[in-house]
């Protein structure tokens, strides 16, 4: 059901050029993303992902980020998140497996990342996720180009 709504929203946004190559995804105090799937239109040279935290909790306790990697690499990145720590937004610094990432945000905050789509392939499986410790099991989805 949620998948259908996301697709409907995407097809509506195709009508307005300004929103064509951008999406806003919300996260909350329940450790959830509001989308399980994001599809990038083929016409987009770059794509903006805006992560909003609509909850109240501080990023120390319920921080979220939006990270993109190939599906094969996601678990490996998450395994190093705790060691990387909050100062590195729970991501191993300079890791080439990370294709895009926002910073870790808390309740009421927003961050945007711009993805250069020329480095992405439609034949590759991509996953987006939150790397805050313990969130990966629930906070992830499929990213399609």
Binding site for Zn ion (CB under 5 A): 64, 130, 132, 135, 139
CB of 133 to Zn ion, least distance (A): 9
Instruction: Kindly tell me which of 8 and 82 has the beta carbon lying closer to Zn ion.
Output: 82
CB of 64 to Zn ion, least distance (A): 4
Measured distance CA(34)–CA(90) in Å, rounded: 21
The residue nearest Zn ion at its CB is 130
Instruction: Kindly tell me which of 40 and 130 has the beta carbon lying closer to Zn ion.
Output: 130
Give the ranges where the chain is alpha helix by DSSP (H): 2-13, 17-20, 59-62, 71-79, 81-84
Instruction: Kindly tell me which of 131 and 145 has the beta carbon lying closer to Zn ion.
Output: 131
Burial class (CB in 10 A: 0-12, 13-18, 19+), 103: middle
Instruction: Kindly tell me which of 10 and 128 has the beta carbon lying closer to Zn ion.
Output: 128
CB of 118 to Zn ion, least distance (A): 29
CB of 7 to Zn ion, least distance (A): 24
22 Cβ contact list (under 8 Å, min separation 6):
47, 48, 49, 50
């Amino acid at each position: 059901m949620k998948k259908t709504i996301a697709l409907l929203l995407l097809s509506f946004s195709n009508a307005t050029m300004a929103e064509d190559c951008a999406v806003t995804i919300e996260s909350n105090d329940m450790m959830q993303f509001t989308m399980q799937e994001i599809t990038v239109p083929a016409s987009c040279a770059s794509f903006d992902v805006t992560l909003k935290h609509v909850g109240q909790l501080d990023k120390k306790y319920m921080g979220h980020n939006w990270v993109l990697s190939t599906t094969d690499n996601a678990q490996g990145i998450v395994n190093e998140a705790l060691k990387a720590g909050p100062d590195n937004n729970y991501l191993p610094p300079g890791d080439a497996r990370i294709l895009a990432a926002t910073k870790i945000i808390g309740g009421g905050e927003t961050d945007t990342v711009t993805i250069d789509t020329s480095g992405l392939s439609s034949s590759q499986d991509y996953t987006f996720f939150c790397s805050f410790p313990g969130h990966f099991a629930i906070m992830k989805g499929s990213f399609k180009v």
